[in-house]
């Protein structure tokens, strides 16, 4: 409709630029990109200066992801209308979108000369700072860009033209990057610092930062004291106070005999002064009639911990940690933050004090009389929170992990009773709110997982899933329930419920799209930061963009998506060559920034109350990154090798032709051979890594598919298949004397490849869901092996297109595919029949309602397996058709 209206308008007014651009926008949005671009360039070449045409072209170029064209548009407009503030401003923002910092600096100064406003001047200054940040040569940044930016700001300072807080913030940023901390301190404490008013204690925070950088510990200590007197609950200043105190003690610093200790006032330089200071803060809190603040009580525990680390006997003056933590629990146990506050200081307890500590806390929890279940229950949410805090601390101390199987089952029963009892307190909660007792449910699920990992009893896993499903029915917005369900369903290889659960842009297409659109989005944030003078945010946006551009996860998602598209479409809906071309895949280039790759995963997203010896440590993190990188390299090289095959694919002409490029293979060994060598090397590294049998905590990073892929034999099988074109090229290049020997070698390679494929298929055999004695056991590795088999078949078929003419081998492939389809058909029948049965839940000690939730998750897993098998079967049938179409 919009295109039709634009056409009508153009019939009356042929030279109406805006109508042409609007038509181009309509064409772009209907998928006719080439026509839209041609029409837009017609208008752009005329260098329009009317605002409507320029704005419409800007919108179009943004949708085309061609921001560089907007700069040319406004460059022309500025040449024609050199005094326009609006066009100069748009030109500056256009440069900002493409990161042309040098041109931004020039555009900012040109704008300032036309309209002498401070913001325009400081746009130019900020552009100099960005040149310094983006410069490859750090020396150049510190000797040219930053000093020039500093001189430009100093000029405004001397002329007393500094007007806004943003300008002072920029001056501070420049001095800080130059390492001129003394000068920066003078700015903050001087007249200019009075403009720093947008944040509470902005000047004090900046002073503290600079004192740390300059190692001015007396000033840091005195300032911390002053700020804590004003706000005794500000934890960051307690940390600064203790850091500076012990630095002064280590330096044996003593205050001067006369005059002030330092510019900030009195300095504490001994442990006795610190103890007195903390006790004074505590006394002030105790004397208050209102509810006390947590800071001073936690500061006392923090001081004990630091004194103990330094083996200082003065720690005893502050009291016994067990008693102090008990007192803290009495005061703040009904707050959800109590567990996170005390968890940090549990290391102060001796192992033989653990049980005593938990018993004392339990005695302080106001519970009612024990009911029929012999479980005493809380009467309100405050008592519930106290009891929950005790349970969480007990798990943190390892007391739950030390229980035997019967003890853990009894614990689960008690936690579930508390969970169901606590639901009454949240009857009026909205669906977006969490239930007060949700953490009981989550903890019970964690204990179930412990039992599953320790005993291998899969019944524990099914009950865990059922309990989480029940929890989610009462708290649909509980992210922890969803995350743990995601983790466990993925462990079972059931991905259908994962898609339903995870609505946070985790599916490959949407995530890939959001990451690809990131540069344009961050550009808009940068522009807004310039407009509103938030200069300190601009480097943060740039760093964030770079961090995501170098994301390990982004590289994985992109690689997997491209491989998936090839497996599903190449030589089915389009040729392999067309598919590779549509992806703009260049096998010769490795576009993954391996040297700058970043692991942006949050590995602490799961709530965990595990003791320290069961928590994720740095070694786990490093091994996980190494494993992820190895798997990415295997997948990336596989993708590039497939891209090479597309260049080798040629419809064969006369067999045994003298022209080597027309006999099924194009002569392109220069890329293929190095990639094969790289794949061999990577697989060797991967094999060495898997021999270490790295295990991560269940709530830590999930393992990649690396170990299972190697165990299935698919990686080696694909490598063998991809080596065949090289051997065929050697055969074609060889003389008659050597050809017979090479032909025999190639024949043996085909036989070996058939054996490897058969071995991979054999590892897929078995029941995905095995039922014995009414109990259900999942074998997700069989489904995973089946996926690897299908991927390998796809690669082998693409190689067969290059090597068309080997009838015996294609017959073997036909047989293997028939076996695979028969196996899939058998599994589908088995699963369908299994869904009709009534699985026994004996021995699970579940209520009827709990059993219903457990059955629900079982059905979800069965349904997911069925769908996976159907999709794999559909793809294999299409590959059978491809095999039949090969010209023999």
pLDDT single digits (tens) 558-596: 999 999 999 998 888 778 888 888 888 889 889 899 999
723, two tokens = 């080596």
Give the per-residue pLDDT at 661: 39
Cα torsion 277, 278, 279, 281: sign: positive
Give tens-digit pLDDT for 605-627.
Answer: 999 999 999 999 999 999 999 99
Helices (H), 367-424: 381-396, 405-422
Q: Which of 712, 681, 701, 700 is nearest to 627 (CA)?
A: 701
Q: Compare 711 and 810 and report the one with higher pLDDT.
A: 711
Q: How confident is residue 289, by pLDDT bands cut at 50, 70 and 90?
A: confident
> Which backbone phi and psi does 278 adopt, to 5 degrees?
-65, -40
pLDDT given at position 28: 86
- As a whole number, mean pLDDT of residues 260-283 equals 93
pLDDT surpasses 50 at 506: no
For residue 378, give the 3-state DSSP assignment: strand
Tally of CA atoms within 13 A in the half-sphere of 574 that contains its CB: 12
Q: What is the pLDDT of residue 886?
A: 66
What is residue 551's DSSP assignment?
B
Return the pLDDT at 621: 94
Classify residue 497 by its DSSP letter.
H
Q: What is the DSSP letter of 192?
A: G
| Contact indicator for 865, 781 with CB cutoff of 8 Å | no
Q: How many CB atoms lie within 10 A of CB 383?
A: 17
**Given this model, what pLDDT does residue 845 score?**
65
Helices marked H in 310-404: 321-332, 337-343, 354-363, 381-396
Cα 266 to its chain centre, rounded Å, is: 46
Rounded to the nearest 5 degrees, what angle is found at the Cα of 197, between the Cα atoms of 192 and 200?
130
Model confidence at 735, in pLDDT bands (50, 70, 90)?
A: low
| pLDDT interval class at 493 (50, 70, 90) | very high
Percent of the chain with pLDDT over 90: 67
The answer on pLDDT for 388 being more than 60 is: yes
Above 50 in pLDDT, residue 31? yes
pLDDT tens-digit series, residues 641-673: 999 888 775 444 433 344 443 333 333 557 889
**pLDDT value of position 505:** 37
Q: Would you state the pLDDT for residue 27?
A: 86
Q: So what's the pLDDT on residue 802? A: 67
- Asked if 656 and 573 touch (Cβ cutoff 8 Å), the reply is no
pLDDT in tens, 91-141: 999 999 999 999 999 999 999 999 999 999 999 999 999 999 999 888 999
Among residues 806, 533, 470, which one has the least CA distance to residue 655? 806
The CA distance from 173 to 176, in Å, is: 5
Comparison of pLDDT for 151 and 201, the residue scoring more? 151
pLDDT tens for each residue of 399-452? 999 999 999 999 999 999 999 999 999 999 998 999 999 999 999 999 999 999
Query: Please, which pLDDT band fits residue 390 given cuts at 50, 70 and 90?
Result: very high
User: What pLDDT was estimated at residue 503?
Assistant: 52
Cα-Cα-Cα-Cα dihedral sign, residues 500, 506, 507, 509? positive
Higher pLDDT, 365 or 849: 365
Cα separation, 184 vs 170, whole angstroms: 11
Please give the pLDDT value at position 651.
44
CA 62 to chain centre: 27
Residue 720 scores a pLDDT above 70: yes
Read off the tokens for 880. 């059978």
> Can you tell me the distance from the alpha carbon of 585 to that of 451, in angstroms, rounded to the nearest whole number?
47
pLDDT at residue number 807: 67
Q: What is the predicted pLDDT for the residue at 571?
A: 82
Look at residues 23, 18, 64, 26 and name the one whose alpha carbon lies nearest to residue 44. Answer: 18
238 within 8 A of 223, measured Cβ to Cβ: no
3-state percent helix, strand, coil for the chain, nearest multiple of 5: 70, 0, 25
pLDDT at 737 over 60: no
Average pLDDT score, the chain: 88
User: Taking the domain 2-195, which CATH number applies?
Assistant: 1.25.40.1040
Of the candidates 395, 493, 399, 494, the one whose C-alpha atom is nearest the C-alpha of residue 445 is 395
Decide if pLDDT at 739 tops 70. Answer: no
Q: What is the mean pLDDT of residues 134-155?
A: 93
Q: Are residues 778 and 827 in contact, defined by beta-carbon separation less than 8 angstroms?
A: no
Q: Three-state SS for 770?
A: strand
Does residue 84 register a pLDDT over 90?
A: yes
Interval 804-837: pLDDT, tens: 556 677 888 889 999 999 999 999 999 888 764 5
Residue 1 has pLDDT above 60, yes or no: yes
Given a contact cutoff of 8 angstroms between Cβ atoms, the answer to whether 58 and 68 are in contact is: no
Does the pLDDT of residue 11 top 90, yes or no?
Answer: no
The per-residue b/e assignment along 815-850, b for 16 or more CB within 10 angstroms, e otherwise, is: ebbebbbebbeebeebbeebeeeebebeeeebeeeb
Residue 655: partners with Cβ closer than 8 Å, 6 or more residues away: 663, 805
Could you state, in order of their start, the residue ranges of all structural domains in the chain?
2-195, 550-704, 743-787+801-888
Mean pLDDT of 740-763: 86
pLDDT over threshold 50, residue 504: no
pLDDT attached to residue 838: 54
**Looking at residue 652, what is its pLDDT?**
41
C-alpha separations of 803 from 226, 563, 578, 886 in Å: 80, 22, 19, 10
3 state SS of 598: strand
User: Which residue did the predictor score with more confidence, 805 or 152?
Assistant: 152
For the segment 536-565, what is each residue's pLDDT rounded down to a tens digit?
A: 999 999 998 888 889 999 999 999 999 999
Element (DSSP H or E) covering residue 776: strand 775-778
């Amino acid at each position: 409709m919009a295109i039709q209206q634009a056409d009508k308008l153009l019939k009356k007014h042929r030279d109406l630029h805006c109508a042409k651009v609007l038509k181009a926008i309509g064409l772009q949005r209907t998928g006719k990109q080439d026509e839209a671009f041609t029409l837009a360039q017609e208008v752009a070449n005329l260098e329009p200066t009317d605002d409507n045409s320029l704005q419409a072209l800007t919108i179009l170029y943004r949708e085309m992801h061609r921001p560089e064209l907007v700069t040319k548009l406004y460059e022309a407009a500025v040449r024609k209308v050199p005094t326009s503030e609006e066009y100069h401003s748009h030109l500056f923002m256009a440069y900002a979108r493409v990161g042309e910092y040098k041109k931004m600096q020039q555009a900012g100064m040109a704008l300032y000369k036309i309209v002498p406003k401070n913001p325009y001047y400081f746009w130019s200054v900020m552009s100099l700072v960005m040149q310094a940040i983006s410069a490859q040569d750090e020396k150049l940044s510190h000797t040219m860009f930053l000093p020039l930016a500093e001189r430009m700001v100093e000029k405004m300072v001397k002329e007393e033209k500094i007007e806004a807080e943003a300008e002072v913030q920029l001056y501070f940023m420049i001095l800080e990057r130059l390492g001129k901390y003394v000068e920066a301190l003078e700015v903050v404490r001087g007249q200019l610092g009075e403009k720093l008013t947008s944040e509470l204690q902005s000047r004090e925070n900046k002073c503290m930062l600079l004192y740390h950088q300059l190692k001015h510990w007396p000033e840091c200590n005195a300032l911390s004291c002053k700020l804590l007197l004003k706000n005794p609950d500000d934890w960051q200043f307690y940390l600064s106070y203790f850091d500076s105190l012990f630095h002064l003690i280590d330096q044996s610093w003593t205050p001067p005999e006369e005059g002030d200790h330092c510019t900030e006032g009195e300095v504490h330089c001994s442990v006795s002064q610190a103890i007195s200071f903390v006790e004074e803060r505590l006394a002030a809190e105790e004397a208050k009639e209102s509810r006390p603040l947590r800071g001073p009580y936690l500061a006392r525990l923090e001081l004990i911990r630091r004194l103990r680390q330094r083996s200082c006997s003065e720690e005893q003056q502050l009291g016994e940690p067990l008693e102090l933590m008990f007192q803290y629990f009495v005061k703040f146990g009904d707050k959800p933050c109590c567990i996170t506050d005390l968890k940090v200081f549990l290391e102060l307890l001796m192992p033989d004090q653990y049980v005593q500590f938990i018993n004392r806390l339990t005695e302080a929890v106001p519970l009612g009389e024990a009911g029929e279940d012999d479980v005493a229950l809380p009467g309100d949410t405050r008592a519930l929170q106290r009891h929950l805090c005790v349970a969480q601390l007990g798990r943190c101390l390892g007391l739950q992990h030390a229980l035997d199987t019967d003890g853990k089952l009894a614990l689960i029963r008690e936690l579930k009773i508390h969970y169901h009892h606590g639901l009454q307190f949240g009857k009026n909660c909205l669906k977006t709110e969490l239930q007060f007792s949700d953490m009981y449910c989550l903890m019970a699920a964690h204990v179930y997982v412990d039992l599953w990992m320790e005993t291998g009893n899969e019944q524990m896993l099914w009950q865990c899933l059922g309990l989480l499903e029940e929890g989610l029915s009462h708290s649909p917005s509980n992210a922890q329930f969803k995350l743990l369900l995601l983790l466990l369903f993925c462990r079972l290889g059931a991905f259908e419920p994962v898609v339903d659960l995870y609505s946070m842009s985790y599916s490959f297409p949407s995530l890939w799209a959001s990451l690809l659109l990131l540069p344009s989005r961050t550009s808009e944030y940068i522009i807004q930061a310039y407009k509103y003078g938030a200069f300190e945010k601009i480097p943060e946006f740039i760093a964030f963009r770079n961090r995501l551009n170098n994301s390990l996860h982004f590289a994985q998602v992109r690689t997997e998506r491209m491989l998936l598209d090839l497996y599903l479409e190449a030589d089915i809906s389009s040729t392999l060559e067309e598919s590779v071309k549509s992806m703009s895949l260049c096998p010769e280039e490795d576009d993954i920034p391996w040297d700058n790759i970043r692991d942006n995963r949050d590995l602490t997203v799961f709530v965990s109350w595990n003791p320290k010896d069961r928590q994720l440590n740095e070694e786990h993190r490093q091994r996980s990154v190494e494993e992820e990188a190895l798997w990415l390299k295997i997948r990336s090289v596989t993708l590039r090798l497939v891209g090479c095959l597309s260049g080798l694919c040629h419809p064969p002409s006369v067999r045994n032709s003298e022209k080597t490029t027309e006999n099924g293979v194009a002569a392109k060994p220069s890329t293929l051979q190095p990639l094969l060598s790289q794949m061999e090397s990577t697989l060797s590294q991967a094999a060495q890594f898997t021999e270490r049998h790295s295990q991560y905590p269940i709530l830590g990073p999930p393992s990649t598919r690396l170990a299972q892929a190697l165990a299935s034999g698919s990686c080696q099988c694909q490598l063998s298949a991809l080596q065949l074109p090289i051997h065929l090229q050697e055969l074609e290049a060889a003389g008659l004397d050597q050809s017979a020997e090479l032909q025999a070698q190639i024949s043996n390679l085909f036989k070996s490849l058939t054996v490897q494929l058969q071995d991979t298929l054999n590892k897929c055999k078995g029941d995905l869901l095995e039922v014995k004695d009414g109990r259900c056991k999942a074998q997700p590795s069989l489904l995973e092996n089946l996926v690897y088999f299908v991927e390998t078949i796809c690669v082998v078929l693409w190689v067969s297109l290059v090597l068309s003419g080997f009838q015996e081998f294609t017959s073997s492939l036909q047989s293997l595919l028939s076996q695979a389809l028969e196996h899939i058909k058998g599994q589908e029948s088995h699963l369908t029949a299994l869904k009709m049965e009534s699985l026994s839940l004996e021995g699970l000690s579940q209520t009827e309602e709990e059993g219903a939730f457990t059955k629900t998750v079982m059905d979800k897993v069965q349904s997911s397996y069925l769908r996976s098998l159907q999709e794999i079967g559909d793809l294999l049938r299409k590959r059978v058709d491809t095999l039949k179409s090969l010209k023999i």
